[in-house]
Amino acid sequence: MKIITTAQWDDKLWREAEPLYNEAFPDHGRKPIPIIRQMFQRKLCFLHLGIVENKAAVMAITGELPSVRALLIDYIAVRHDCRGQGTGRLFIEELKDWTREEGLSGMLIEAEAGDGPGHRSRRRFWEACGFHLTEYVHEYSWVPERYQAMYVNLSPEGKLVDDGRLLFESITDFHKRSYRRT
């Protein structure tokens, strides 16, 4: 898998990533494109694209959480026909290496807190990638789903702790910076 990462808006890369993004997230669950562009302008995020056989197989939008020296995976999507083949797990391992190279010591994800089979399957994926589920359940006023933080420390200096409420303070700050006007 070839990984392409950019910290700048790139129309060509976004055209490759966007179908995966739209397929994986419902309208109410994804940030509008103008907000994502704004995030790039403010240097809040990165686009990572995993290419397999010259086609986008997986994409992620991430952002740095300076307060905990961690990378938040804001969105990740694996192309439907690539699921269940290890593509996502390989991508996460590559993303872990990139995160370490960037001098960050951990990674975070917001996992839906539901108890349906899809929710359990996604949590098992993250656990297989080394992430730990926190107990705290967070509710946002702007989306109907409830979330739990999952984290992985990537170095002995990792600052991520098993305190979902504390982790969501950093995550919520990232979202507020993403949507803030000016």
Distance CA 142, CA 24 (A): 19
Distance CA 133, CA 49 (A): 26
Q: State phi, psi for 86 to the nearest 5 degrees.
A: 90, 0
* Collapsed DSSP state (helix, strand, coil) of residue 53: coil
To the nearest 5 percent, what fractions of the chain are helix, strand and coil? Answer: 40, 30, 30
- pLDDT tens-digit map of 86-100: 999 999 999 999 999
pTM: 0.94
- pLDDT tens-digit map of 93-134: 999 999 999 999 999 999 999 888 888 899 999 999 999 999
